[in-house]
Chains A and B, each alone.
Chain A
Amino acid sequence: AQKITQTQPGMFVQEKEAVTLDCTYDTSDPSYGLFWYKQPSSGEMIFLIYQGSYDQQNATEGRYSLNFQKARKSANLVISASQLGDSAMYFCAMRDDLYTGGFKTIFGAGTRLFVKA
């Protein structure tokens, strides 16, 4: 069955330092996509980065990079040079059955990141 696990309920990081948010997933489908979203206190979910199961390279988007380890079924988010505005809830998500038309996206429980000045 599909499952997303985020084991860190909360994380602290010093401003300008890098931080890694953990995510492991479980699926039996070979084709799937992994997503990270940021949810600030305003409530809106903001898309950060995407990694496809067949992508050969780790995805990067500005200060965000995804450390994709397929054999371990992990998709950790790395935020470099943390900023105060990065303080938010972060969700890892997965959608599988991509080639067979699956539509359901499942989300983890989230990690709350606190950036300290």
Chain B
Amino acid sequence: GAGVSQSPRYKVAKRGQDVALRCDPISGHVSLFWYQQALGQGPEFLTYFQNEAQLDKSGLPSDRFFAERPEGSVSTLKIQRTQQEDSAVYLCASSLVRGIQETQYFGPGTRLLVL
């Protein structure tokens, strides 16, 4: 398909485990965003990439969270030593910059449950 894809769709981890969440953006999209969405809430910004450069990581909640996009396409969000409060849906979005109106296209998300 031509949309943003994320894998896995569901992940159950034991507290203390490391997890890696993958995002495949729409081909050619320069911008890539990661968001965390807790149950019943709106998405919270985590980090932003422009090509391979991580230009904003101000939303990452702790140094256990790390994101990369080494070749400017696929991105991975890694969470080390997972905690129960990390349980959420992690959304990835990409956009093809068109001036001011940067419409973000979202993937289906990865639902992470930490036990």
Any A CB within 8 A of the CB of B62: no
**Given contact pairs A103-B55, A109-B42, A43 touches B100 in the complex (Cβ within 8 A):** no
**Given contact pairs A33-B101, A103-B55, A105-B33, A91 touches B109 in the complex (Cβ within 8 A):** no
Whether A47 lies near B105 (C-beta < 8 A) is yes
Whether B45 lies near A98 (C-beta < 8 A) is no
Shortest C-beta distance, B92 to chain A (Å), equals: 10
Whether B102 lies near A95 (C-beta < 8 A) is yes
The residue on A at minimum CB distance from B101 is: A50
Interface centre among B31, B42, B91, B111 (most CB of A within 10 A): B42
Cα A95 to Cα B104 with chains together (Å): 11
Any A CB within 8 A of the CB of B48: yes
**Given contact pairs A42-B108, A43-B89, A44-B108, A106 touches B103 in the complex (Cβ within 8 A):** no
Cα A37 to Cα B45 with chains together (Å): 15
